[in-house]
Amino acid sequence: MLLTSEQQIVKKIKQMSINKAISQLHENGFSITKSILLLKIAHQMNLRDAKAVVSNHPIWTKIVQMAQPLHEELINNTDKIFSFQDENLSEIRIEKRIVFN
In a domain, 24, yes or no: yes
Sequential DSSP letters for 54-89 = HHTSGGGHHHHHHHHHHHHHHHHTHHHHT--S-TT-
Encode pLDDT of 3-39 as tens digits.
568 889 999 999 999 999 999 999 999 999 999 999 9
Answer left, alpha or beta for residue 57, where phi above 0 means left and psi between -120 and 50 means alpha.
Answer: beta
Residue 70 pLDDT: 87
In a domain, 95, yes or no: no
As a whole number of angstroms, the distance between CA 50 and CA 43 comes to 9
In a domain, 101, yes or no: no
Residue 78 pLDDT: 79
Number of separate domains in the chain: 1
In a domain, 99, yes or no: no
In a domain, 88, yes or no: no
In a domain, 54, yes or no: yes
In a domain, 64, yes or no: yes
What confidence tier does 101 reach under pLDDT thresholds 50, 70, 90? very low
As a whole number of angstroms, the distance between CA 101 and CA 58 comes to 26
**Residue 42's domain spans which residues?**
4-81
Query: Is the pTM of the predicted complex or chain greater than 0.85?
Result: no
Is 52 a residue whose pLDDT tops 80? yes
